[in-house]
Every structure is written in C-alpha cells, then in structure tokens.
Amino acid sequence: MKAATATINLNALASNLKKVKEQSPESKIMAVVKANAYGHGLQHVATHAHGADAFGVARIEEALQMRASGVVKPILLLEGFYSSGDLPVLVTNNIQTVVHCEEQLAALEQAELETPVVVWLKIDSGMHRLGVRPEDFSSFVKRLKACDNVAKPLRYMSHFGCADELDKSITQEQTELFLSLTDGCEGERSLAASAGLLAWEQSRLDWVRPGIIMYGVSPFNDKTASELGYRPVMTLKSHLISVREVKKGESVGYGGVWTSKRDTKVGVLAIGYGDGYPRTAPNGTPVLVNGREVPIAGRVSMDMLTVDLGPNANDKVGDEAILWGELLPAEKVAAHIGTIAYELVTKLTSRVEMEYID
Ligand SMILES: *Cc1c(COP(=O)(O)O)cnc(C)c1O
C-alpha cells in the first residue's frame, strides 16, 4: 500500500474541457498546463486534453517536455521568453511567445531567425504585473508589425487581477480597456482565464485560457467546482497507519498544539508536509475517513498527520483517507488552511505516487 497517492481522473479532465467548450462555444481553448499541469502531471494531462486547441505554459522547459512527449498542438509561453538565446528554440519547436516588455521586443528585432515566431502582445489592462502600458500599445504594435521575425497577424492578450471577485468593477474596466485598445486589430484576442470564462461573458473572445477549472477546482471563494458543474480531477489519498486511544487532557504531536477535551481515538495518516500537505493546516482542517469528515488534531509532521476520529470510531489501520478531491473539495480544505486550492494541488512532492485512471 502506497503511503500517499494522487489519483488523476482523466475522464473528469475530459468532461471539464467539454464543459468549458459548452460555456464558451465560440472560443478556442488554450489549456493552461504550467507547473506540471498544476501538479497533475504535465505529460498525462497534455496527451489526454483532447478538447484543447493549444496549451499555455510558463517555462520553455515545460514546452520542450511536451514536444518530447509528442504533443504537436500550439504551445504558448505565457510570460514570454527570458533570454534571446531562447528564440531559435522557439522556432525549432514551434512554440509561441508572449511579448510584454521592451527587452523582449528588442531581442526579437535583433534576432536572425529562419522562421517568424507567433507573438501575443500582452497588454497591462489594469493588473500591473506584466504587459505593455496602454500608452505604449501603439508603438509596440508598430514595431512588432515591422519586425520580420514576428508572424502576422499579431495576437493580443491581457490578464485579470480580480476576476474571482464578482462585486469589483475592475474586471469590467480591464475588459473595456482591452477591447477598446484592440478594436479593429486583425489578430486573435484572449483575456479570460478560469474565473473570467465562468463569470465574465464579455471576456471570452477568440481564446479562453482555463487552468484551475479544467482540473475541477473552483477559482471562486464561495462556490465549489461541483456547484459549477465541474469534476475534481485529483483525489489525494492516504491511509491510517495507527488508531490510538488518547485520554482527555492529553496533547498530540509536535508542540502539543492540540489537547483532547475527551477520551477519544486519534488516527495517524501516512502523509505529511514531506508529501506537500501543508504544515500550516490548523486543528480542525477536514479529512475524509470512511466517508465522514474528521478534523486534523495536532501539527502536521513531515511524514504523518493526526486526526480526531471520535470516541466511537470503528476505523482500522489500513483504512483509506481522502485529503481532498471527489467528496472533499480542495477549495474547502484550502479555506481552512488560509490558502487557495491552486497552491494545494500544485505543491505535492515527488514522493506522492501519481495514479492515472480513465
Ligand atoms: C495561470 C494563467 C492562466 C490560468 O489561470 P487559472 O486561474 O488557473 O484559470 C491563464 N492565463 C495566464 C496568463 C496565466 O498565467
């Protein structure tokens, strides 16, 4: 029996991509698979994401890994290239790039490439992380259009900073700015990631760029993916390696941060922060044991964590526990820990056994 296993349901992945298409039928899908497909396994996800029209990654190594596994669909570097030496690699491997700054533009202008590169000009429409400022937009367009190393037509994208917050007006403002800047431009446009495509219809445009929702995790605080019609792709499991009696007044684990208020049974699971389960998970964070939610009791250790099974528990050594996934949304666990489910699924370590089911 493996200590910790992440089961990846490729059926759920397919169903989520289908759902994205239903929700945004006019848009092509750029499936975002950065960071090892949000911890789900880049190669398996990329080769099974049949509903995707292209892929988005953050690092050139991720794109090359996909090419090495036989992926032929377009791949976009969402932050662009980091050094001019990458440009010939993009050409050879048919990888598209974002251009978001003067340095990238200058590198393209100075390069000598055999074939032009597909370029997405990234506009800072209000998030103020990456992208060219609106006042610099037309000069970037002019120079990119004049550059022989850039395939025509040019493409345009931007990214939302608060699309998961439905009561904020900034997303609408970003959308309007992006649409007005690119109005009349010939090339394709992309604005929405998961929250955008789910909640901001106007932002869907030619391409949507779903990441988290494709993995069946909600980008919103107050709605789980299942409530939105999506299925969790990852289920993280472990099992009980001990069921112990703990008396009222006794404390469990490092630092004694949990003290039992009653005689009870404590279950020890074979998973800890060495597997990527956050050490910061406080007492009370839910774990699913034999179909019922039980609270973490005591500090998460490197290889183990402890849960209060209750005085009447019949759970046995070897019984399975679900840390998140189907029946226990990662969003809910993340809320207890004070993080987002993106971080939970992305941070599993190589010690976790990956299992793929179809
Ligand atoms: C990560 C990323 C996405 C996907 O975001 P989700 O919220 O996971 O859907 C889309 N576009 C860009 C530029 C990104 O960096």
Model confidence pLDDT, tens digit, residues 339-354: 999 999 999 999 999 9
Query: Radius of gyration of the chain from Cα atoms?
Result: 23
List the catalytic residue out of 142, 248, 254, 316: 254
Which one-letter DSSP state was computed for residue 125? Answer: S
How far is 256 from 329, CA to CA, in rounded Å? 28
The alpha carbon of 210 and the centre of ligand 1 are apart by a number of angstroms equal to 6
Sign of the torsion formed by the C-alpha atoms of 12, 15, 21 and 22? negative
Q: How far apart are CA 37 and CA 182, in angstroms?
A: 30
| pLDDT greater than 90 at residue 54 | yes
Residue 176 has a pLDDT of: 98
What does the alpha-carbon distance between residue 35 and residue 346 come to, in Å, rounded to a whole number? 7
Q: Point out the ligand 1 atom lying closest to the alpha carbon of residue 342.
A: 8
Span 102-120, pLDDT tens digits: 999 999 999 999 999 999 9
Q: If you measure from the C-alpha of residue 23 to the centroid of ligand 1, how many angstroms do you get, rounded to a whole number?
A: 17
- Ligand 1 centre distance from Cα of residue 123 (Å): 15
Ligand 1 centre and the CA of 282: distance in Å? 28
Q: Give the whole-angstrom CA distance, residue 278 versus residue 259.
A: 21
Mutate to test the pocket of ligand 1, among 32, 62, 228 (most ligand atoms within 8 A of CB): 32
pLDDT given for residue 121 in this prediction: 98
Which ligand 1 atom minimizes the distance to the CA of 212?
Answer: 8
The predicted model scores a pTM of: 0.97
165 CA from centroid of ligand 1 (Å): 15
Active-site residue (options: 34, 122, 237, 265): 34
The yes-or-no answer on residue 342 being catalytic is no
Residue nearest to atom 15 of ligand 1 (CA): 78
- Going from the Cα of 32 to the center of ligand 1, the distance in angstroms, rounded, reads 6
Confidence band, pLDDT 50/70/90 cuts, at residue 16: very high
Pocket of ligand 1, candidates 19, 78, 345: which has the most ligand atoms within 8 Å of its Cβ, to mutate?
A: 78
Give me the chain's average pLDDT, please: 97
DSSP alpha helix (H) spans, the chain: 10-23, 34-38, 42-48, 60-68, 87-93, 102-110, 137-146, 170-182, 194-199, 330-337, 341-346
Atom of ligand 1 nearest to the CA of 34: 1
pLDDT in tens, 266-323: 999 999 999 999 999 999 999 999 999 999 999 999 999 999 999 999 999 999 999 9
Q: Which atom of ligand 1 is nearest to the CA of 78?
A: 13
> What residues flank ligand 1, with Cβ below 6 Å?
32, 34, 56, 78, 159, 193-194, 209-212, 219
N-to-C CA span, the chain: 21
Using 50, 70 and 90 to split pLDDT, how confident is the model at 1? confident
With pLDDT > 90 as the criterion, what percentage of the chain qualifies? 98
Minimum CA distance residue for ligand 1 atom 14: 78
Q: Give the pair of three-digit tokens for residue 198.
A: 């789910």
Whether 316 sits among the annotated catalytic residues: the reply is no
The answer to whether residues 241 and 234 touch, using CB atoms and an 8 Å cutoff, is no
